[in-house]
Amino acid sequence: MLGEIHIEKYLASGKIEHVTCGGESGENARLLEYAWVLSVREQCVSAGVPFYFKQTGALFRKDGKIYHIPRKDQISQARKAGINFLPQEGLEELFQRLSKSSFRSGFHLKEEDREYVREKGMETIERHARDFIAKRLAPAEIPNDGKQTPMKGHPVFLAQHATGTCCRGCLKKWHRIQPGTELTKEQQDYVVRVLMEWIRREMEKK
């Protein structure tokens, strides 16, 4: 992989069964930027297409730092990134990680929240989620980042805190989406998908 690519239209065709990416090996290997890999992963997640990060390559840059990685470690280092995605398991892995956080796992819908969801319907709740994400989370610069999501007042707010999508700092920690740039449509779609899955699971609880 030699640069950032956008394959949304190909993924949307339904003809792509899976996507594999990685860097070049050898002494003349060209640079692989981790942000490029994450971008492709996000496109795959949004489209529900399996994604596999095969190897870092010999020359790998992450968070501005360049790493020279021996051939024997390139596959294992890619695996340690933990970003491979299978549609049926991608969110399961995320929710398993979230369940290990006493803070994240402490959020639940109260009966008044459930009643609100039942009254409005999931389609309306999803529209609210898209609006909140576009206005509060998607901008590249957010003056009050870390404080822009209320702790109560809407089921989506609770879902954001529960899933680590409440601010750009948490989005980086839990979802590996870097701050400082505006969220793409694919990234926003992914966040909404996570939020709606959490709400769906909460609504199914007795």
pLDDT in tens, 27-79: 899 999 999 999 999 999 888 888 999 999 999 999 999 999 999 999 989 98
pLDDT band at residue 14, thresholds of 50, 70 and 90? confident
pLDDT at 17: 81
Q: Indicate the pTM of the whole model.
A: 0.61
| Mean pLDDT confidence for 130-153 | 95
Nearest to 31 by CA among 73, 70, 3, 9: 3
Distances (CA, A) of 196 to 76, 80, 127, 130: 33, 28, 10, 10
Q: Would you tell me how many other CB atoms lie within 10 Å of the CB of residue 91?
A: 18
Inter-CA distances, 72 with 28, 56, 78, 108, 172, Å: 16, 11, 12, 45, 28
Could you tell me what percent of the chain has a pLDDT over 70?
97
| pLDDT at position 87 | 65
Spatial distance between the Cα atoms of 156 and 153, rounded to a whole number of angstroms: 9
Indicate if the pLDDT at residue 190 is higher than 90: no
Asked if residue 2 has pLDDT above 70, the reply is: yes
Q: Is the pLDDT of residue 128 over 90?
A: yes
**52-87 as b/e: b if 16+ CB within 10 A:** bbbbbbbbbbeeeeeeebeeeebbebbeeeebbbee
Per-residue pLDDT band at 90 (split at 50, 70, 90):
low
